[in-house]
Structure 1
Amino acid sequence: MRKSFIALTFLLVPACLSAQLGGKVYLQRADSLLQRVLSLYEVKKYGLLMETYPRNPNQQITYTANTGSEVTQQEVSFLWPYSAMVSGCVSLYKTSGDKKYKKLMDKQIKPGLDLYWDTTRQPECYQSYPAFAGQNDRYYDDNDWVAIDFCDYYAATKNKEYLKKAIALHDYIYSGWSDDLGGGIYWCEQKKESKNTCSNAPATVLCMKLYKLTKEKKYLDQAKATYQWTRDNLRDPSDFVYWDNKNLQGKIGYAKYTYNSGQMIQAGVLLYQATGDEQYLKDAQQTAKGACRHFLKPQSTVKGEMKFFPSSPWFNVILFRGLKALYEVDKNDTYVKAMIDNADYAWQYTRDENGLLNNDWSGNRKDKFKSLLENSCMIELYSEISEL
Structure 2
Amino acid sequence: MLLHFLTTVSASFFLLLVNNTQVSAQSAESKATTALNTLQDAWYNETSGIWDTCGWWNGANCMTMLADFAAIDKSAIPIVTHVFNNTYVVAPAVNPAPGIEKMNTNGEPHTSYPQTWPHHWPGYHGHPGQVNASAWLDGYYDDGGWWALAWIAAYDITKNQDYLQTAIGIFEGMTAGWPTNCSNGGIWWSYKHDYANAIANELFLSVAAHLANRVPNKAYYVNWAQKEWKWFQASGMINANNTVNDGLTLDCKNNGQTVWTYNQGVVLGGLVELNKAAPDSSYLPAAAKIAAAAISALTDTNGVLHDYGCEPNCAPDGTQFKGIFVRNLQALHIVAPQKAYVRVIQASANSIWRNDRDEGNMLSVDWAGPFLNPANASTHCSAMDALVAAVVVH
The aligned counterpart of 1:125 is 134
The aligned counterpart of 1:343 is 349
The aligned counterpart of 1:376 is 381
Cα pair 2:243 2:259 within 8 Å, conserved: yes
The aligned counterpart of 1:221 is 223
Secondary structure at the counterpart of residue 291 of structure 1 = helix
Q: Aligned partners of 2:279 and 2:156: how far apart in 1?
A: 23
Name which structure has the greater RCO, CA cutoff 8 Å, separation 6+: 1
Secondary structure at the counterpart of residue 50 of structure 1 = coil
Q: Aligned partners of 2:30 and 2:86: how far apart in 1?
A: 21
Answer with 173-182 or 101-110: which moved more: 101-110
Q: 294, 299, 302: which one pairs with 1:296?
A: 299
The aligned counterpart of 1:204 is 205
Q: Displacement of 1:341 after TM fit?
A: 1.0
Q: Which letter does structure 1 place at the counterpart of 2:78? A: K
The aligned counterpart of 1:334 is 340
Cα pair 1:205 1:223 within 8 Å, conserved: yes
Q: Which letter does structure 1 place at the counterpart of 2:72? A: T
Secondary structure at the counterpart of residue 291 of structure 2 = helix
Secondary structure at the counterpart of residue 213 of structure 1 = coil
Cα pair 2:348 2:386 within 8 Å, conserved: no
The aligned counterpart of 1:243 is 245
Secondary structure at the counterpart of residue 317 of structure 1 = helix
Q: Aligned partners of 1:81 and 1:269: how far apart in 2?
A: 23
Q: Displacement of 1:281 after TM fit?
A: 1.6
Q: Which letter does structure 1 place at the counterpart of 2:64? A: S
Cα pair 1:37 1:376 within 8 Å, conserved: yes
Answer with 111-120 or 369-378: which moved more: 111-120
Q: Displacement of 1:360 after TM fit?
A: 0.7
Q: 324, 335, 350: which one pairs with 2:330?
A: 324
The aligned counterpart of 2:262 is 259
The aligned counterpart of 1:147 is 148
Q: Aligned partners of 1:36 and 1:104: how far apart in 2?
A: 17
Q: Displacement of 1:246 after TM fit?
A: 1.1
Q: Note closer, same or farther for the CA distance 1:127–1:166 as it changes in structure 2 (3 Å cut).
A: closer
The aligned counterpart of 2:63 is 86
- 1:283 equivalent to 2:292? Answer no
Give me the CA root mean square deviation: 2.6
Q: 83, 90, 103: which one pairs with 2:81?
A: 103
Q: Note closer, same or farther for the CA distance 1:154–1:50 as it changes in structure 2 (3 Å cut).
A: closer
Q: Displacement of 1:111 after TM fit?
A: 3.1
TM-score, normalised via structure 1 length: 0.77
Answer with 230-239 or 347-356: which moved more: 230-239
The aligned counterpart of 1:309 is 306
Q: Displacement of 1:291 after TM fit?
A: 0.8
Q: Deviations over 1:125-162 (max 9, x none)?
A: 3568xxxxxxxx53111111111121122122221101
Cα pair 2:367 2:383 within 8 Å, conserved: no
The aligned counterpart of 1:354 is 360
Cα pair 1:82 1:113 within 8 Å, conserved: no
Q: Displacement of 1:307 after TM fit?
A: 4.5
Q: Aligned partners of 1:352 and 1:165: how far apart in 2?
A: 38
Q: Deviations over 1:312-365 (max 9, x none)?
A: 55322221233222222222121232122111111122211221112111114x
Instruction: Give matches, 1:35-54, under 5 Å.
Output: 35-42=37-44, 46=48, 48-51=50-53
The aligned counterpart of 2:277 is 274
How many residues align? The count is 329
Decide which structure has greater strand share.
1
Secondary structure at the counterpart of residue 282 of structure 2 = helix
Secondary structure at the counterpart of residue 363 of structure 2 = coil
Q: Aligned partners of 1:201 and 1:349: how far apart in 2?
A: 32
Q: Percent identity?
A: 20
Q: Note closer, same or farther for the CA distance 1:306–1:179 as it changes in structure 2 (3 Å cut).
A: closer
Secondary structure at the counterpart of residue 329 of structure 2 = helix
Q: Which letter does structure 1 place at the counterpart of 2:273? A: L
Q: Aligned partners of 2:50 and 2:271: how far apart in 1?
A: 35
Task: Write out the 4+ residue segments of structure 1 that deviate beyond 6 Å after TM superposition.
Answer: none
Q: Aligned partners of 2:200 and 2:366: how far apart in 1?
A: 26
The aligned counterpart of 2:176 is 175
Q: Deviations over 1:181-240 (max 9, x none)?
A: 121111122x32111111111211111111111142010000011112112114434221
Q: Note closer, same or farther for the CA distance 1:43–1:327 as it changes in structure 2 (3 Å cut).
A: closer
Q: Which letter does structure 2 place at the counterpart of 1:81? A: N
Cα pair 2:49 2:91 within 8 Å, conserved: no
Q: Displacement of 1:292 after TM fit?
A: 0.7
Cα pair 1:234 1:244 within 8 Å, conserved: no
Q: Note closer, same or farther for the CA distance 1:12–1:193 as it changes in structure 2 (3 Å cut).
A: farther
Q: Aligned partners of 2:205 and 2:193: how far apart in 1?
A: 20
